[in-house]
Amino acid sequence: MIPIKLEDLARITEGRVLRGDLSQLILSISTDSRTLQPGDLYVSLRGERFDGHDFIWEAVSRGAMGFLTSRSYAELSSGQKGVPGDESAAQSNISSTRSQKGDLAIIQVRDCLAALQALAREVRNRSSYRTIGLTGSTGKTSTKDFLKSILAKRFKVWATPKSYNNEVGLPLTILGADSQDEILIAELGMRGEGQIAQLCEILRPDMGIVTRIGPVHLETLGSEDRIARAEGELVEAIPETGLVVLNRDDRWFPSMADKARGRVVSYGMDSEAEVRATDIKLDAEARPSFQLVSGDRRTLVKLQVMGEHNVANALAAAALADELGVSMEEIKGGGWGGRGPGSGGGRGAGC
């Protein structure tokens, strides 16, 4: 991540430095004491089944340079928010357990999740990379993997690792990028109306892809129309100078396109799609091949994953890559298996 001074972190998160050198740099963040690396700042998140405050001293023993907490010294010692303990016990823990990078940093904030999001928002504002938001009922991860593999041939790319696509995962995705990255691809999950809009407020996407809309989360939203409205929040978040890549075969395409302020590029099997597939064939192992057509240009693409449904995911990735200047030959040779260099979440280095 972009280095942040401890004093700046306190200002960004509206927190209070309880301990630490104000000029100390925060270089990396962790919310999981099990995978924390020496030098990480540990953020004590509270979930439905756990409270990260219970693992603070484990994180410190693993080499955390400090931690973000919503508790006071006394509460840290008692192990319960709102229940004071022996403050000297907490001080003793701090004194006896130092990070590998000098004095332990402790920042007290009102809410650790809000602080994590505020930090991600600030880091995004300081970054020069272009951001791509990606949502839809199905096909998000495959499309992300295809897109990252193609763009990594030309750019330094950081993409959503694992399934980091919610209110915790998106900030961690942003904080995982570094100053050398040129493009950030963020998968955006949706469980209800307003959620993608909130994620976009943090991400500020320059470009967006909507894969396909289907009856997912009906138990929460009640109708496919409401699902489409919720997924469409990404489209509405793209600025006039931005780009929206939409599935022409999806029945929600017209309403999605109407929401767009940015330029719309369509993909699909429909003859009106600007980037489309023709001559689709499946080999003996159900892996598709097809002619990728964009204007008067075409090339043969062979996917290394099974299922004709992946053709649409590949088209979405190709459409956006084409708009970023990636050549048809580079697209043809893209990581269509989703497992090659540059595939999956994390980083892909350009040439």
Q: What is the per-residue pLDDT across 28-50, written as a single tens digit (0 to 9) for each?
A: 999 999 999 999 999 999 988 88
How does the average pLDDT of the chain come out, rounded? 90
Domain-embedded: residue 249:
yes
* 34 and 94 together in one domain: yes
Spatial separation of the C-alpha atoms in residues 41 and 60, rounded to whole Å: 9
pLDDT of residue 7: 97
Domain endpoint, select from 42, 77, 112: 112
Residue-number span of the structural domain to which 15 is assigned: 4-112
How many domains is the chain partitioned into structurally? 2
Q: Which residues contact 36 (CB under 8 A, 6 or more apart)?
A: 30, 42, 59, 62, 63, 64
Domain-embedded: residue 121:
no
* 149 and 70 together in one domain: no
* 106 and 131 together in one domain: no
Spatial separation of the C-alpha atoms in residues 16 and 6, rounded to whole Å: 10
Stretch 12-26: mean pLDDT, rounded? 95
Domain endpoint, select from 51, 86, 112: 112
Q: Which residues contact 137 (CB under 8 A, 6 or more apart)?
A: 211, 212, 213, 214, 215, 216, 217, 227, 231
* 10 and 100 together in one domain: yes
pTM of the model: 0.90
* 280 and 151 together in one domain: yes
Q: What is the per-residue pLDDT across 111-161, written as a single tens digit (0 to 9) for each?
A: 999 999 999 999 999 999 999 999 999 999 999 999 999 999 999 999 999
* 65 and 142 together in one domain: no
Tokens of 335: 């990581």
* 32 and 147 together in one domain: no
* 187 and 39 together in one domain: no
Spatial separation of the C-alpha atoms in residues 180 and 298, rounded to whole Å: 33
CATH number, residue 80: 3.40.1390.10
pLDDT of residue 220: 76
Question: Of 18, 14, 242, which Cα lies nearest the Cα of 122?
Answer: 14
* 342 and 221 together in one domain: yes
* 281 and 193 together in one domain: yes
Q: What is the per-residue pLDDT across 155-188, written as a single tens digit (0 to 9) for each?
A: 999 999 988 999 999 999 999 999 999 999 999 9
183-187 and 25-26: which strand pairing?
A: unpaired
How would you classify residue 63: left for phi > 0, otherwise alpha for psi between -120 and 50, otherwise beta? Answer: left
Spatial separation of the C-alpha atoms in residues 23 and 183, rounded to whole Å: 29
Q: What is the per-residue pLDDT across 261-281, written as a single tens digit (0 to 9) for each?
A: 999 999 999 999 999 999 999
